[in-house]
Each structure stands twice: as C-alpha cells, then as structure tokens.
Structure 1
C-alpha cells in the first residue's frame, strides 16, 4: 500500500497575483456615471432640436456608456461578496457577465444606427451644423477626461476595459461629429451626417466584438488570454523528476484569477517528501512565469497508474483494488 500513499493533490494559492481594485475604481465609475447621464440628456435634446442623427447616435452611444458605467460599478460591488457553499467561486464572474451584456447592447445600438443612417441617406434632412459642432465639442472634452480617469484600470479588468473603450470611443465619435458639422455648415452636404453616423456605428461594432470575444472565452473556460499553453506544459515537464504532465486544464474565473489543474507523473518509488517538493516547484513556476494564481496538482507514480487520458483519474482506486487482492 506504500506506493498508493504517494498519490496526492498539490494545492496552492498565490493571492499576491490577484489584483482587486474595486475600492479605487468604484468612485471614479460613479462620478463618470453622473457626468455622462447629465450629458446624454442634454445631447439628446440638442440632437432632436438640430435634426442631427449624428448627435442622436452619439447620445445613444453615450447612453450605452452610462449603462456600462453603472453596471461596471455594480459588478465591483457584488464581486466583493464572499464565496459560499453554493457559489464556491463567489461572485467574481459577475464582472464577466456584465461586460458581455454591455458589449451585446453596443452591438444592438450599432445595428440600429446603421439602419437609421441608411434611412437618412434615402430621405435626407438638413441638420444644424453649428449646434452639432458645439455639442460634439463638449462631448470630446467630457469623454476624453472620463477615459483618462478610467485608463488606469483598463489593463486590470475586463469591465474597466469595456468602460474605457466606451468613453475613448465616444471621444473619437464626437470628433467625427464635429467634422460632420463643419462640412454641413460650410458646404450644406446633407450626407455628411449619415456618413459620420455610419462610421460611428462601425466603430461601435468593432470595439464591442473584442469585449464579446474575451468575455465569451472566459465563460467557456478557455485558456487564459495571453497564455502560451504548450510552452507552459513544456516548462512543467522540465522540472526535475517530472516524467510527464497530462490532463492539464487552465481557465480564468475573472479578472486576474487564473486557475489550473493537472496530473504529474513522477518516478516509481518517489518519497512523499519529494512529491511535495516537486509540487511546490511547479506552483512557483506557474505563478511567476505564467500568471496562474491557483494550481491544483495531482502527483502519480510511474507504474502505479493507468496512463490513458480518460482513465488517469482512477489511479488511486485501481491501485487500491490491485493491492487488496494480493
């Protein structure tokens, strides 16, 4: 029975790699939400008065930003709730679900703007260029400032990245509206407004796609973004006394929370102290070189396990039955 006792689980947490910035970014999100909501109301009224689809479409984009900012702030709040027996990962995935919802709403808005732009091309209406320029100019200033406030969290959180992209995109969209207003004012070319609206819609769809893709990958438990999976497995195999690595699974729970589980084969007769040492070395490698904050590693001894992929998890049970019949 001695060999069977060597098979065990290595379990480690590297909380130092998990960055939670909710307390820092939350107030900035709330402030940005208040400013954006007030501006959306004013821009929508101005767009309606000026008969400008470009302004109305930009107001719609800003409205989606207000929703995104509010939901992002909510996600930060709810993700702080502790894990329990039913939600063992806690509420961290709320960040990803909300990011996906925000991106989906952007897709809908982009499609609606394209449809309206096409309708305006077929039946153009004159737009008030001067009002477009002034309102869009204020939008450029507001969105640029808010994007700057949120830029610090863009690399740390999918939600913060979505909020940042929303606001930076709005700043660029507002610049485009200023250009359309100048063209309308100086040339009277009525197609400038729907053309700019269509460009804004395409930009919205483009930025939304990246968020949808990343959020979907996390929900499908794909390998963490940026992880070279094959390189990681090869590096694990080079750790001293590791004969093979199999049944490897790596996934992301939420922002900065990368997990891994795997089976590692060691030479026959390896003492349990050595097994523990190998597990520690593997955990250090995974944490510091591949950003895996939490790893669960099962060690197996050569000659004691069924090595087929599907059956390897039956190692302890099969060895126990074999030794029980002796």
Structure 2
C-alpha cells in the first residue's frame, strides 16, 4: 500500500485566487445593478439583480468549498474534504437548472402578457454587466477543463453573460420597435441554451459522488500497463475513482510470482500509475497464486 505525507492539491485549489477576483467583480456589479434598479424604478433590472444574486452566492459557495477542501485529512475524514468541491459543483448545477426552468416559465407568462419595460436603463446596465462577465469568463476559462467546481463557477458567469446579451438585444428591439415580445422570446432562448451544459455538469458531479471511473482514466489500459511490469502475473479487482477534480485514487489486487524485492516491485507499480495515469493515491494488495480463492470480492 502506498500513500504520501503530502496532501494532493485539487485542480480547483490551484485557481482559487482567480475565483475570488470574479466573486469580487460580480459582487460589485450586483450592488451597482440594485442601485440602478432603485434609481430608475426598473423592475426588470431588480429582477435581473435577483438572478445575479444567486450567481454571486454560487461563486462564493465554490470558493468556500475549495477552502474547505484544503483542510487536511484526519481520523474522521481519512480522505480529507475534497468532495466539498464536488458538492458545490452539484449545487451550482441544480441552482442553474432551476433558474433555467424558471426563466422558461417566466418567459411563457410574459409572452401571454408582455409588460412595458424601460429599455434605455436595461441597455446601460446590461452593457456594464456584459463587460464584467466577459472579464470574469476570461479569468476562469483556463480552469474549466480541470475542475468541476470551477466549471460550475464558469457556467454561473456564462449564464450571466448570456443574460446580459439577451437583455441588450431585447432592449434594442423594444427601444426601436416597441415590440415587447422580444423580452420573453430571448429569455426563453437563454434558458434553453444554459440547460444542456448545466445538465452535463450535474451528471459529471453525480458520477464523482457515485465513485464512477474518471473520464480521463481507461481501466483496460491501466490493467495492461500494470501487467507489463516484470514480476506481475495478473491484476484484478481494480477500482479507480475521483476524490475531486484532479485527484484520482485507485486500489487493485496484484498477483505476483517469486520476487526477491517486493518493495522494489511496488515502487515500480506506483511510479507507473501515478505518472502515466495521473493517480494521486494508490493501494495495492500483493498476492501469490492460490490466495484469490479466499477472497470474498473478485
């Protein structure tokens, strides 16, 4: 069995400063949007501010989850608190799905009876929001492929950016034509666009919580690579799972023949899987022929 004294760093933890910057930007814009809605008496802006509030809370939740995930393992949490990041990603996905469904419902209600909207105020505030969200997306873009938690945060900002664009387009149409059906139509399009991406994020988070095999690890290739090590006669009962994005763990039963130095063999196996398959935590049960009949789980 192998484990290291140094705790593995999650992918999200490497980008927490970037996330904090985006939280600050989005929080500042939220305050400006609330003030703008009160000053202009625009219900549309206040409604969008409520949507923005859920996103800021989601981003803050992602940051808090990273901080919790950095806590060291102990006797009660032997694998540490890595899963807090995955829980945050799942919560963000659920919130975004609920928002998408609500947007579609609200769009249907407004389509039946479109209210008169202050288009100029919408354009100004939405334009500021678009700039803020583009900056936030640029900051978070590099981390989306490495961390589900950061991907959830990125989708929060993406949904805001799409909302800002939609509000601007609707504002221009309503300002120039007075056709207030533009607001619900574009809102519905935004809701439909956000839904599939968020659904995939939710499925990825659930796969981690169910301890499914990480998508970047091929079990067949892993077994083949281990069986090519001199002295190894076979490998069975392989389990590979993700503690969080970027931190994979595995366990396996390794059938070996006669070996003068089992520690050396174990070292080769560990180096191979940690280097070639990016696995951070390994547990190997070394067996000789005949032992498998005593196992209760094969």
Fold similarity call, TM over 0.5: yes
| Alignment RMSD (CA, Å) | 2.5
Q: Determine whether 1:286 maps to 2:277.
A: no
Q: Does 1:249 align with 2:239?
A: yes
Please say if 1:11 is aligned against 2:32: no
| Cα distance in 2, alignment partners of residues 271 and 31 from structure 1 | 54
C-alpha displacement of 1:232 = 1.5
Task: Tell me the alpha carbon deviations over residues 174-194 of structure 1, each in whole angstroms, 9 at most, x when there is no partner.
Answer: 122211111111222221100
Q: 1:240 aligns with which of 219, 223, 230?
A: 230
Q: Is the 8 A contact 2:96 2:156 kept in 1?
A: no
The two structures have a TM-score, normalised by structure 2, of: 0.88
Moved more, 158-167 or 250-259: 158-167
**Residue 213 of structure 2 aligns with which residue?**
223
Within 1, Cα distance between the matches of 2:116 and 2:32? 20
Q: If the length of structure 1 is used for normalisation, what is the TM-score?
A: 0.81
SS at match of 1:265: strand
1:172 aligns with 2:158: no
Distance 1:118 1:276, change over 3 A: same
Aligned to 1:324: none
Q: Which stretch of structure 1 is more off in the superposition, 244-253 or 284-293? A: 284-293
Is the Cα contact below 8 Å between 2:250 and 2:281 reproduced in 1? yes
Change (3 A) 1:187 1:290: same
- Asked if the contact 1:246–1:309 (Cα under 8 Å) also holds between the matched residues in 2, the reply is no
Asked if 2 retains the 8 angstrom alpha-carbon contact of 1:12 and 1:283, the reply is: no
The aligned runs of 1:100-179 (5 Å cut-off) are 100-179=90-169
Could you say if the C-alpha distance between residues 290 and 17 of structure 1 is closer, same or farther in structure 2, counting changes exceeding 3 Å? farther
Following superposition of structure 1 onto structure 2, how do residues 202-213 of structure 1 map, counting pairs within 5 Å?
202-213=192-203
How far the C-alpha of 1:209 sits from its partner, in A, is: 1.3
Contact map agreement 2:10 2:246 (CA 8 A) in 1: yes
Larger CA deviation: 26-35 vs 111-120: 26-35
- Segments of structure 2 that go 5 or more residues without pairing to the other structure are none
C-alpha deviation, 1:309, in angstroms: 6.8
Which structure has more relative contact order (CA 8 Å, sep 6+)? It is 1
The CA distance in 1 between the partners of 2:7 and 2:86, in whole Å, is: 21
* 2:283 matched residue in structure 1: 296
3-state SS of 2:164 partner: helix
SS at match of 1:243: strand
Q: Is the 8 A contact 1:58 1:170 kept in 2?
A: no
Do residues 271 (structure 1) and 223 (structure 2) align?
no
Q: Tell me which structure has the larger Cα radius of gyration.
A: 1
